[in-house]
Amino acid sequence: MIAAKRVLPSIAVIALIIGVWWAVVVATASVVFPTPWQVVTGTVELVRDGTLFEHIGASLFRVGVGFGLAVIVGVPLGLWMGWVRGAYVTLNPLFQMLRPISPIAWIPIAILWFGVGNVSPIFLIFLSSVFPMVVQTTAGVHTIEKRYLRAAANFGVSRATLFRQVVIPAVLPQIIVGMRIGLGVAWLVVVAAEMIALRSGLGYLIIDSRNAGNRYDLVIAGMIIIGLIGLLLDGLMRLLEGLKVVRWRYAH
């Protein structure tokens, strides 16, 4: 009952938007803009001929590789910058300057360097998610409470133990925050990257549906699917917050 009460308002809003959308399309007798029902039939068409899953697979593949590389590079780099003062002082200004540049601005350079295959979007996704990873991890190291580092020093543990049992677990919640932000941005960027001269992916689906005969039903279908998958990916990252080793951070 309570759960139903909580989701009821948002369902009502979505229903209202669909209702208004439908009414406006019918009232204006638009031939280009689809009704909600046309979007549904368009989606069914994409599922039937199998192209939808190809596009989803292609986008997820690029995000998976680019984001994976960002984690592999960003976490150690962030730990290093957080721990070694000199590394931070040297690299932080550079990263702060690169960070506000939208990955979209890198598209021409990506195409110049890597052509129009899979490498370009993977590179763009890597760029978009590596900065949040580095920034969050570095901040995580900087905010480790002194008392824990002092305790580690008191017990005279080895450097390996210090990192494995104190630094990394202390920073892990921040790393997960970085991953959430990074994956969110990666999903935004992959769609934009795929609009540029690629033959697959959800971004391609959208731009191709428009170019090939103004299929706006498929454009909107693609948009909704992007939204749903984005929600799903964020949900997956949220699952990480429930891990036993980080629950201390969220327990209070």
Partner 1 sequence: MPTKDMSSKIRVDGVGKSFATEEGKLHVLDSISLEVGDGEIVAIVGPSGCGKSTLMNIIAGFDRPDRGSVSVDGVVQCKPSSRGILISQAGSVFPWLTVQQNLMFGLNGSEHAEKKQLADHYAEMVGLKGFEARYPHELSGGMLKRAELARALVVKPEILYMDEPFSALDALLHLRMRNELLRILEQERHTVLLITHDVEEAIHVANRIIVLSIRPTTIQATFDVPFAHPRKLSSAPVQELRTAILRELGVDSYST
Binding site for partner 1 (CB under 8 A): 147-148, 150-151, 153-158, 161, 165-166, 169-170, 172, 244-249, 251-252
Contact 174, 132 (CB under 8 A): no
- How near is the Cβ of 246 to partner 1 at its closest, in Å? 7
Query: Judged by CB, which is closer to partner 1: 125, or 179?
Result: 179
HEC-encoded secondary structure of 81-133: HHHCHHHHHHHHHHHHHHCCCCHHHHHHHHHHHHCCCCHHHHHHHHHHHHHHH
Closer to partner 1 by Cβ: residue 13 or 153: 153
To partner 1, the closest distance from the beta carbon of 135 in angstroms equals 22
| 8 Å CB contact between 97 and 150 | no
Distance between CA atoms of residues 10 and 234, nearest Å: 19
95 or 163: CB nearest partner 1: 163
Q: Give the shortest CB-244-to-partner 1 separation in angstroms.
A: 7
**CB 78, min distance to partner 1, A:** 18
Between 156 and 213, CB nearer to partner 1: 156
**Residue from 172, 197, 187, 193 nearest 225 by CA:** 187
